Amino acid sequence: MARHWIQYLPWEFETIPDEWVQALNANASEVWAPSNYVRNGFIESGLDPNKVYYVHRLIVRPRPCLELSTGCRAIISLDMQGGYI
């Protein structure tokens, strides 16, 4: 099974290093940015705009165990690092 690599970068500068651009364009399935300002900076740096998304910082907390038995299939927790989903 192939993995879907999502890199979530809370980067608040105008551009990202060229080495990052090359690595992310070659390997990441998606790059998530915590604001449109950051998203635009990623695209201006050279990231493929079709891979870059604005995703508000969030944490989905697990529901109580009683509710989990009713069909909840995944618990997603996003933090300040990229990760696999």
Strands 5-8 and 30-33: parallel
pTM: 0.64
Q: Which two tokens stand for residue 69?
A: 């038995």
State which residues form the domain around 61: 5-84
pLDDT of 71:
57
Residue 14 pLDDT level (bands cut at 50, 70, 90): confident
Report the residue count for the chain.
85
The half-sphere exposure of 74 on its side-chain side, counting CA atoms within 13 A, is 5
**What angle, rounded to 10 degrees, do the helices at 36-45 and 18-27 form?**
90
Residue 81: how many other CB atoms lie within 10 Å: 9
Domain count, the chain: 1
pLDDT of 62:
56
45-68 pLDDT, tens digit per residue, is: 999 999 999 988 765 555 444 444
Residue written as tokens 């989903």?
85
